[in-house]
Amino acid sequence: MTARLILVRHGETEGNVAKILDTKLPGLPLTERGAAQAKAFGAGLATPPRALFHSHALRARQTAGYIEAATGVRATARDGVHEVQLGDLDGLGSTEAHDRFQAVYRLWHEGRLTERVPGGESGRDVLDRFLPAIADLRTEYLDSAADGDVLLVTHGAAMRLVGRELAGVAPPFTTNNHLDNTETIELIPLPGGGWECARWGRFTPPFGEQAESGADDPMG
């Protein structure tokens, strides 16, 4: 079986529960439920990953730490793979703030990557820092003959945009289907440098226009 790059959304945080747009580093910690989710994810892996990485956000580091404890694979921080930075909207939980972010986020998935919220990143900014990290992981671990998946604990909004960009999964699927805490986007490297998406949360290909009603976290 071809080794995969598995993007893992962190466990539940205090910000997720309160529906706060928590994007600045280091960010809020996991809740008790979030820690349990991370432990269960690690325990549920059929085999340990070949390598385990996480963003510099506290929630990602904590999630990866529980996976490390379950698998014995050392967790290491990776630059560039943190959540979308929302500038003036960071720390807000109002309906207006959520709607402003979601409006811009949908435009990114439609190809308008230069749009941004005030003081925040554009979609192009996010991809320009995130995709080189993915390319490095591919070169270091996935283009060799060695077996074993690579796990990267990261963030819902950023990883959905990356999944759309790398594997061509299209909206409205990508914008309708948020990711719950510790759900994954699983990417298979293809000959020639492309990627195939083998899983998006609860879904496997083909990816149509299904809308998953379970997850409503604005960052999911």
Query: Is residue 214 in some structural domain?
Result: no
Query: Is residue 24 in some structural domain?
Result: yes
Structural domains counted in the chain = 1
The CATH number of the domain holding residue 39 is: 3.40.50.1240
| pTM over the 0.75 mark | yes
Query: Is residue 94 in some structural domain?
Result: yes
How confident is the model over 15-37, as pLDDT tens digits?
A: 999 999 999 999 999 999 999 99
Query: Is residue 165 in some structural domain?
Result: no
Residue 98: pLDDT band with limits 50, 70, 90: very high
Query: Is residue 206 in some structural domain?
Result: no
Query: Is residue 128 in some structural domain?
Result: yes
For residue 189, what are the domain limits? 5-151+172-200
- Residue 192: predicted pLDDT: 87
Query: Is residue 44 in some structural domain?
Result: yes
Query: Is residue 163 in some structural domain?
Result: no
Is residue 198 within 8 A of residue 54, CB to CB? The reply is: no
